[in-house]
Amino acid sequence: MVHGRYLVDMLRCFICLVALFEDHIGAQQNNVYFEKGESVILFCKVNATSWCTWDGPGVNGGEFSTFSDRMVIDQSLPNANRLMIIGNISLGEYNLQISNASNEDEGAYRCSIVDGAARQTHVFLQMKEQPSNISVNGANKGVRHGIEGRPLVLNCSVTSGIPDESILWYNGSVLLDIGGPGIFSMTIVPQRYDHDRIYTCIVNSSALRVPLKTSIMLDIKYKPVLTLNSDKPLRRLSNTDQIEIHIDEGHNLTISCSVDSNPPVLKVNFYRNLHQVKNVKSAHTLEFIGIKREDKGLYECRAKNEVDETYENVTVIVEYPPSIVITKYFENTGLQCSPEGKPQNYTFHPWLHHSELGDFIRQLDNNEIVRFKEVGINTQNYKWNGIYTCRAENGIKDVNGTLIQSGQVLVKQAGQNEFYSEVMEKFDDAGDIYSFVKCLFCKQ
């Protein structure tokens, strides 16, 4: 249990070796600390042919007075009964033992070798004192308040003891830094995830069998953190913070905005083009029943607390299948099919050519334009008369679940007498035709 530490001043003292014994760590340089009531042994070893004298502190803080000469203690000393020279004399050991040590024994001691020139070693004896009264400044009922991103000073202070204590700050179980004595002021820059975290200050000293300890909880205010959720997939565009929702027209859509904030938000609202959206199920939730193409746009969730206001945007893209518009192509040389949908990415299927009575004649090119000449139709000829159907899709189904949308036009050679109505009723048996029928080259 007892362990020693030799304090050797080899430069000044070749013969006399002073070492110190004590129960606990605490020896710093030539300072030795003891606990009240302990036995302290000050070691002095000389050549076997020589011997030591010990001097100790004089009464009332006076200069040195002689304590011992060889083995003999000066019996006139008030504490003579607590002093003793111990050790193996034949080995040159003249160790001074002080029993039941108290603050009266504090002070400077020296061991002097008597032969030849005076050579001595000094040691300073001090009684340990426990540090006490640990506290964290600025903590109210164990809670230290701060704001995210702003430096926060954590001061741990203590009434100092002897020897100097060290003060340690822990974040949970992680040691952050060591300081002291007296006060250790550590500055942290708390983030929102430091809210409710426990920081612990520990005061350690050899005078303490159990370190002093006090914990505080951080209460970190932070601006609202918004999270958008939807019953439809949210697409996060790479390289930006932008979020999109793609939804088919007619479907239902719910977008909610959840908030994490300390202190709680005063309000949460959705905005569109700077105007608060009225279509709200609750302040946190937008709901569209059968969304329309006009509902597209940028929606912004805003929340505010006393720290700051934050925003989160979502762009709603309403997709719908194309309506098919057919117009005359350059100089009546053909037909141009112009779908209008969202997205504007169309796949064309072959045009269909039927007779006016609905008999199938032929299938033509699968692109936007039909050129009569190219398909071998002579404009002087009746052969190109009939109903032309353009079919296209953009990947979006209509309300009936049909992907391919179509439109028709009736073409008649100019000069013929018959006149057909501008708009025809449904042509296709499938019944999924978004019809647009027009008579081109009809007799005016």
Ligand X SMILES: *[C@@H]1O[C@H](CO)[C@@H](O)[C@H](O)[C@H]1NC(C)=O
- Residue 384 DSSP SS3: helix
According to DSSP, the β-strands at 253-262 and 119-127 are: unpaired
- Residue 132 DSSP SS3: strand
- Which of 23, 356, 368, 432 is in the footprint of ligand X by CB under 6 A? 432
| Residue 172 binds to ligand X (criterion: CB under 6 A) | yes
Q: Which residues contact 306 (CB under 8 A, 6 or more apart)?
A: 221, 263, 266
And the tokens for 275?
């105007």
Q: Helices in 25-144 by DSSP H: which ranges?
A: none
| CB distance 258 to 268 below 8 Å | no
β-partners of residue 113 are 52, 119
Stretch that binds ligand X, among 2-10, 63-71, 169-177, 415-423 (CB under 6 A): 169-177
And the tokens for 421?
């109505």
Q: Quickly list DSSP for 311-380.
A: EEEEEEEEEEEEEEEEEEEGGGTEEEEEEEEES---EEEEEEEE-TTS-EEEE--SSSEEETTTTT--TT
| Residue 188 binds to ligand X (criterion: CB under 6 A) | yes
Closest to ligand X by CB, 261 vs 385, is 261
CA distance 164 to 172: 25
| Residue 78 binds to ligand X (criterion: CB under 6 A) | no
CA angle 303, 306, 309 (to 5 degrees): 30
According to DSSP, the β-strands at 31-34 and 119-127 are: parallel
- Which of 118, 183, 234, 237 is in the footprint of ligand X by CB under 6 A? 183
- Which of 28, 65, 137, 363 is in the footprint of ligand X by CB under 6 A? 137
The number of residues that bind ligand X (CB under 6 A) is: 47
| Residue 194 binds to ligand X (criterion: CB under 6 A) | yes
Closest to ligand X by CB, 130 vs 338, is 130
- Run of H or E including 45: strand 40-45
Site for ligand X in 331-390 (CB under 6 A): 343, 345
Binding mask 259-288 for ligand X (x = CB under 6 A): ------------------------------
| Residue 47 binds to ligand X (criterion: CB under 6 A) | yes
- Which of 30, 31, 66, 102 is in the footprint of ligand X by CB under 6 A? 102
CB of 204 to ligand X, least distance (A): 4
| Residue 204 binds to ligand X (criterion: CB under 6 A) | yes
The position carrying tokens 């024994």 is 105
Site for ligand X in 214-253 (CB under 6 A): 241, 251-252
- Which of 400, 415, 417, 444 is in the footprint of ligand X by CB under 6 A? 400
Stretch that binds ligand X, among 52-60, 69-77, 167-175, 414-422 (CB under 6 A): 167-175
Footprint of ligand X (CB under 6 A): 14-15, 25, 37, 47, 49, 88, 90-91, 100, 102, 133, 135, 137-138, 153, 155, 157, 159, 171-172, 174, 183, 185, 188, 190, 194, 204, 206, 211, 241, 251-252, 289, 298, 300, 311, 313, 343, 345, 395, 398-400, 431-432, 434
